[in-house]
A and B are shown apart, each in its own frame.
Chain A
Amino acid sequence: MAKLYTKDTQAIFWNNNTTAIQRMLDYDYTIQRKKPSVAAIVAPTSGNKFEKFFYGPDEIMIPLYKTTAAAKAAQPQADVLLNFASFRTAYDVTMEALEIGGFSSMMITAEGIPERLARAMNATAREKNVTVIGPATVGAIAPGAFKIANIGGTIENIVQSKLHRAGSCGLVTRSGGLFNELSNIIAINADGIAEGVAIGGDRFVGSVFIDNLLRMEENPEVKYMILLGEVGGTEEYKVIEAVKSGKIKKPIIAWCIGTIAKYYDSGVQFGHAGASANGDMETAEAKNNAMAAVGIHVPASFNDLPLMIKKVFTELNLPAIPEPAMSLCPSVRKSKEFICTISDDRGDECTYAGFPISSLATPETGKGIGDVVSLLWFKKQYPKWATDFIETVIKTVADHGPAVSGAHNAKVTARAGKSVVESLVTGLLTIGPRFGGAIDGAAEYFKYADDNKLTPAEFLNHMKKEGVPIPGIGHRIKSLKNPDLRVEGLKKYAAAHFPSTSLLDYALTVEQLTTSKKENLILNVDGTIGILMVDMWRALGYSEEEINEFIASGTLNSFFILGRTIGFIGHVLDEKRLAMPMYRHPMSDILYDVQEAEKI
């Protein structure tokens, strides 16, 4: 891996740190990335499914997941983990992600992770060949490609410090606070940076100077390197060895801060936890001298660093870097109140989930109402066997005569002189747990039993304990000997066209048991529809979790509402046609049992 990040790199951001994520997206927009650099956010305690962010003037949604595993499964291409967990949980998050695998690098921001845990985490990552940036860092940047969280500061500063496009310096610092400062100095005195890493201030960090410099040595965009070290530790000596042995040939400019520490005893802690010299070798002065001795460019003081950069850069005599096109983030942006993800009327022609209406409206397109439902309800073009099934369902549930309570209500309302829409909604408002609800219930309970591998006997027992009759089982008059032809039709269609019907197969074993108790306890039409819908979704590749969400959100009921609307409208129009008078229920049909009120 010669480059830490490319313009296609995407990250999973652990913790919904909206400000930092927005900064990344502003950067992405500015440098005209094709895809946002954050593919997913892990937010263990959030109930939301996405978070809205600005992408330039527009808004985009980034999906939220409860676990790293779920995020990684949904976004396998995201191979960078940005671990913004606290020092209490950062270790667990990193170790879990290492276990899941598929990450090439991880950045850990927490400061003060217990040393033993930090060491274990870093060693495990090294074994698995995963580059760790941090802990206790502001991150890293590959200008023009990918930027972690807050590094580089505001977008104005980024452009000013030429962090919007790759320059020719490879920058490695311990300090995150001085990273921006160095970027600024490099922009003023040279042509910006190609890759920059703040390795972190804790005593035990993952990738150290040498790891990053060796990678930069391989990166053709990097022409020279700058290292800003610190008093304490011996990491700089590994760099000295690499220069001596010829492993690093590109010029290095280096400085260790903390030269003041030699004046005071160890009681004064200058800078980071890692910044404390144990022995003469670890002083800033000794390290600066040792680096100078092998030909690393070491200035006389930090104040002289800019001059040294200018000198080394000028001697390299590099061609000027062309300034790429940039997009400008508007300074004032307004968050949108509504979101639409199914249809779009902004273009020449309105589209349903990307399909222009004309591409599915007329008969020669071969598309039917089932296709429209699959696009507008599920944002997917279902295969023909599935859209045909949807249409079969709609046709099957369209009406069931005038006596059912929904149709009756619609009719009574129409006779009271109300409009079509008023009469229709009166009928629709009757749909619920008792009227039409069996589709929902059957899908829910049968799926539950199947998911939990209950035998039919166990399932019956379970329902008995719950105290509810099994939804989708039972008919007023029909039995196995005198079957419901609608059910037969649905079953026949499914057998011929569904790739598999696992839940229906299970339901039929249940039916065998129930009908052995009472003849009319058959799988009825509501049950068959609910169960076959689950089978359809399973065959279409939805996860069990997604199917459970469909059921919970009332999707099955929606098929009934859609179909039965056709019937209700028919009944309402029928009343209008017949011009039937206002309906009054006969008093003889009501049992009056009213007591005289007590006096208080």
Chain B
Amino acid sequence: MAQKAIREYDAKSILAKHWDKYFPNFTYAYETVMVQNGSELTAIAKDKKWLSEKALVAKPDMLFGKRGKNGLVLFRDTKPGDVSLAKATSWIDEKSSTPQSVYFSFDGDTPTGEAKTDMLTHFVVEPFTPHAQEEEYYISATCVGDNDMLYMSAEGGMEVEEGWDEKVTEVAFAITDTEEEIAAKIKANIPADVAATDKEKFANFAIGFFKAYRELNFAYLEINPFVMQGTKIELLDMVAKLDDTAGFMMKEEWGDVDYPTSFGMEEKSPEVLAIEDADSKSGASLKLTILKPEARIWTMVAGGGASVVYADTIADLAGIDDLANYGEYSGGPTTSETKFYADTLIDLMTRIPDKQGREKILIIGGAIANFTDVAKTFTGIIQSFETYAEKMKEHKVKTYVRRGGPNYEKGLKDIKEAADRLGLYIEVYGPETHVTDIVRMALAK
């Protein structure tokens, strides 16, 4: 996936790093720290005096919003703006010690939908910024269709989503727009509600913001709200996504940024992580997602498009309860890469017996390859069969193969011979059989 969400702390750090380039007429104190627990905060406070000197705000930094409504923003002890370092420390320790439930949508203040429960592991701590409501603004930018969009509002804060049409001014930019054209468009579209005396200043900030969004390869960038006091800016809340395909040319600009998994998402299994690792080191493509490890249908499909049609067909014909995984291998993997991929998959599918005692189904599918040598990749699968033959028999694995492309006759012949020699159930088909028809055949038995 090209667009990846980053932490609020990283988003602020990236803007702070390039602040003078994009916002030369404004100042930003960049007083923000990210910690995983209270003692880390105490340790950092030795270097950063403001943590002991100022009233603080603390909140989790884990890619989810609505933190206020979830009661996860600490800004008051007995009254707003009185949070001390000690209080922040104890609050972070408290919130990070037990799993927390988080709702992602609200109707007014009432949560809707299901909550997700997970541990809170990352927090940002910042100074409490006293300010008037009129000093809060909203700004964001993203790409819609072929255009970049800039959204601006004189009203910041979490309420902006309610009443979007009335409050938010939208401006569209073609990718080929010049800096002059961009500046002119922004100046012509400053929200009417921005005070007349602040319009020029706001435009100045918005132009810098949009330039930063473009040049730093953000896919999404939102500050809601930012506070403008004279030429002093505070970034109270930020959401950002980066286009990670630009990573190779943004190493310096982005610094050390990580792409956390979203809150409540299951931790990736070691097998999935191992495949990801192998994928990153290979010129070929290896992808694996575990959907339901106890399910009985496993797919090992070559090619991105084919892997989708196999998943579609299994969902159509068997339902998704039977589908254990989604994944693909493509782009001419080597024999040993294919063996590793097959090993991982067959190992996973032979761990939990089917609850109803049914046979397990392994779909080794694929379209007609453009350039991948089928016999070569199948050699890797055969080697994996040799390792796992006993376990495959134990779990009554029935294998269905369908593939075409360079050297496919040899590949199909080899895998059939190997399965027969090892006493494994196998059915083998070539391009004369419709690509997904083996799913129907496997389910018909």
Give the 10 A-B residue pairs with the shortest CB-CB distance, closest first.
A175-B305, A177-B303, A114-B246, A181-B367, A178-B305, A180-B368, A119-B175, A260-B315, A150-B370, A271-B308
B406 lies within 8 A of A234 (CB): no
**Are B434 and A303 interface neighbours, CB within 8 A?**
yes
Question: Which B residue's beta carbon lies closest to that of A180?
Answer: B368
A347 to B220, CA, bound (A): 69
> A153-B406, A275-B308 given as contacts; is B1 within 8 A of A115 (CB)?
no
Contacts of B214 in A (CB 8 A): 116
User: At the interface, yes or no: B239 with Cβ under 8 Å from chain A?
Assistant: no
What are 27 inter-chain pairs, A to B, with CB distance below 8 A?
A: A88-B249, A114-B245, A114-B249, A115-B245, A116-B217, A116-B243, A119-B146, A123-B175, A123-B176, A127-B176, A153-B404, A154-B405, A161-B368, A174-B305, A176-B305, A178-B303, A178-B309, A181-B367, A181-B404, A230-B308, A258-B312, A259-B316, A260-B311, A271-B307, A272-B305, A284-B312, A303-B313
B323 and chain A: residue at smallest CB distance: A260
- Beyond A178-B309, A259-B312, whether A115 also contacts B243 by CB under 8 A is yes
Q: Could you give, for residues 483-520 of chain A, a 1 whenever the CB lies within 8 Å of some chain B CB and a 0 otherwise?
A: 00000000000000000000000000000000000000
A87 interface contact, C-beta 8 A = yes
In the complex the two chains form, is A153's CB within 8 Å of B371's CB? yes
A113: which B residues are within 8 A, CB to CB? 245
Q: Which residue on A lies nearest to B320, using beta carbons?
A: A263
| B81 close to A (CB within 8 Å) | no
Q: CA of A173 to CA of B3 in the docked complex: distance in angstroms?
A: 23
How many Å from the CB of A314 to the closest CB on chain B? 18
B219 at the binding interface (Cβ < 8 Å): yes
The answer to the question of A152 belonging to the interface, with a C-beta cut-off of 8 Å to chain B, is yes
B258 to chain A: which residues have CB within 8 Å? Answer: none
Mark A residues whose CB is within 8 Å of B: 19-20, 23, 87-88, 112-117, 119-120, 123-124, 127, 138, 150-154, 157, 160-161, 173-181, 184-185, 188, 201-203, 228, 230-231, 234, 257-260, 263-264, 267-273, 275-276, 284, 301-303, 306
Could you say which residues of chain A place their CB within 8 Å of the CB of B330? 177
Q: Which of B311, B405, B434 contacts A180 (CB 8 A)?
A: B405
Chain A residues near B2: list those with CB within 8 A.
112, 115, 202-203, 273
Complex-state Cα separation, A272 to B291, whole angstroms: 18
Within 8 Å of chain A (Cβ to Cβ): is B196? Answer: no
The residues of B that contact A267 with a CB separation of less than 8 Å are 262, 265
Asked if B293 is an interface residue, CB under 8 A from chain A, the answer is: no
Take A175-B304, A177-B304 as given contacts and tell me if A268 and B289 are in contact as well, using a CB distance cutoff of 8 Å.
Answer: yes
Contact of A264 with B291 in the complex, beta carbons under 8 Å: yes
A177 touches B370 (CB 8 A): yes
Report chain A residues within 8 Å CB of B367. Answer: 177-178, 180-181
Q: Are B370 and A138 in contact (CB under 8 A)?
A: yes
| B306 at the binding interface (Cβ < 8 Å) | yes
Extra contacts besides A114-B243, A157-B405, A176-B370 (4): CB < 8 Å:
A150-B371, A175-B304, A180-B370, A184-B431
Q: Does B388 contact A (CB under 8 A)?
A: no
Are the CB atoms of A302 and B313 closer together than 8 Å? Answer: yes
**Interface residues as binary, B277-316 with A (CB distance below 8 Å gives 1, 0 otherwise):** 0000000000001010000000000111111110111111
Check B175–A157 contact: CB distance below 8 A. no
Contacts of A175 in B (CB 8 A): 303-306, 308
| Residue numbers in A under 8 Å from B315 (CB-CB) | 259-260, 263
Q: Using Cβ atoms and an 8 Å threshold, which residues of chain A touch B317?
A: 303
What is the bound-complex CA distance between A113 and B307, given in angstroms? 23
Alpha-carbon separation in the docked complex, A178 to B313 (Å): 15
Partner of B404, one of A87, A157, A202, A264: A157
Q: Do the beta carbons of B368 and A153 come within 8 Å of each other?
A: yes
User: Per-position contact with A for B210-253: 1 when CB-CB < 8 Å, else 0?
Assistant: 00001001010000000000000000000000010110110000
A-binding residues in B (CB < 8 A) = 1-3, 143, 145-146, 174-176, 214, 217, 219, 243, 245-246, 248-249, 262, 265, 289, 291, 302-309, 311-317, 320, 323, 326, 330, 367-371, 404-406, 431-432, 434-437, 439-440
CA distance in complex: A263, B175 (Å) = 35
Residue ID in chain B nearest A88 by CB atoms: B248
Q: Are A270 and B311 in contact (CB under 8 A)?
A: yes
**Chain B residues, Cβ within 8 Å of A173:** 305
Distance, CA A253 to CA B146, complexed state (A): 26
Would you call B326 and A268 a contact (CB within 8 A)? yes
Contact, CB under 8 Å: B305 / A177: yes
When C-beta atoms are compared, the residue in chain A nearest to B371 turns out to be A150
Q: How far is the CB of B335 from chain A (nearest CB, A)?
A: 18
Q: Closest Cβ of chain A: how far from B43's Cβ, in Å? A: 34
For A302, the chain B residues whose CB sits under 8 A away are 309, 312-313, 436
Q: Is B304 in contact with A272, judged by CB distance below 8 angstroms?
A: yes
Which residues on A sit within 8 Å (CB–CB) of B1?
Answer: 269, 273, 276
Contacts of B305 in A (CB 8 A): 173-178, 228, 230, 257, 271-272
Closest to B435 in A: A181
A116 touches B312 (CB 8 A): no
Q: How far is the CA of A173 from the CA of B311 in the complex (A)?
A: 18
Closest B residue, CB atoms, query A115: B243
CB of B146 within 8 A of CB of A123, answer yes
Q: With a 10 A CB-CB cut-off, give which of B145, B217, B431 has the most chain A CB atoms.
A: B431
| A439 CB to nearest chain B CB (Å) | 51
Which residues of the partner chain B approach A268 to less than 8 Å between Cβ atoms?
289, 291, 326
Pair A114/B217 contact, Cβ less than 8 Å: yes
CB neighbours of A202 from chain B (8 A): 2
On whether the beta carbons of B320 and A116 are closer than 8 Å, the reply is no
